[in-house]
Amino acid sequence: MPQHWEEVYEMALLETDQQKLAERIDAALVVLGNSLQEIGDSPEKNCEREWIQDAMRTLKTIRPTHLKASVDN
């Protein structure tokens, strides 16, 4: 069952299992990207588009941190 982008984004942010974090982030990025494609350039969706883009930036920012932390441990 497809999930709304906010749900998978939150699941990725709240994941505490370091073994699952990268998988959650990757899954969320796919859903976020699909959501961006679905809303397209619709002017009435500008706010949602910005929220999705911010969410993607956040996940891409925390993912390298996770990977570095995993290598350091």
Split into its structural domains, the chain has a count of: 1
The span from the CA of 33 to the CA of 37, in Å, is 6
Q: What is the pLDDT of residue 11?
A: 94
Domain span at residue 31 reads 5-72
pLDDT tens digits, 57-73? 999 998 866 555 554 54
Q: Is the pLDDT of residue 40 over 80?
A: yes
Q: What is the pLDDT of residues 6-37, one digit of tens each?
A: 999 999 999 999 889 999 999 999 999 999 99
First to last CA, the chain: 35
Kindly report the pTM of this predicted structure: 0.81
Q: How far apart are CA 73 and CA 29, in angstroms?
A: 25
